[in-house]
Amino acid sequence: MELKRREGESVSAFLYRFSKKMQHSGVLKEAKKRRTRPRAVNKNKRRVAAIYREEKRTEIETAKKLGTF
């Protein structure tokens, strides 16, 4: 992103315009997101979640077949 100071524009006005442009571009949000990395979920927790999803999926399928869902 390139921004040039206009003729006769004060430094504070330029800084305000620059900060607004940065906020609208989403650069700061992306930089903050990349600053930290989310912790990896351990293997056991992923396994338990997968088992739960599979049980729920089969429960919903049987409920649909019975017409109670």
Alpha carbon distance, N-terminus to C-terminus of the chain: 53
Q: Are 3 and 18 in contact (CB under 8 A)?
A: yes
47-56 pLDDT per residue, tens: 999 999 999 9
Q: Are 1 and 27 in contact (CB under 8 A)?
A: yes
Confidence at residue 1, expressed as pLDDT on a 0 to 100 scale: 75
The ranges assigned to domains in the chain are: 1-38, 41-69
Residue 69 pLDDT > 80: no
Mean predicted lDDT score pLDDT of the chain: 92
CA–CA dist 22, 16 (Å, integer) = 10
Short-list 58, 20, 28, 42, CA closest to 69: 58
- Over range 8-36, report the average pLDDT: 91
Confidence at residue 12, expressed as pLDDT on a 0 to 100 scale: 96
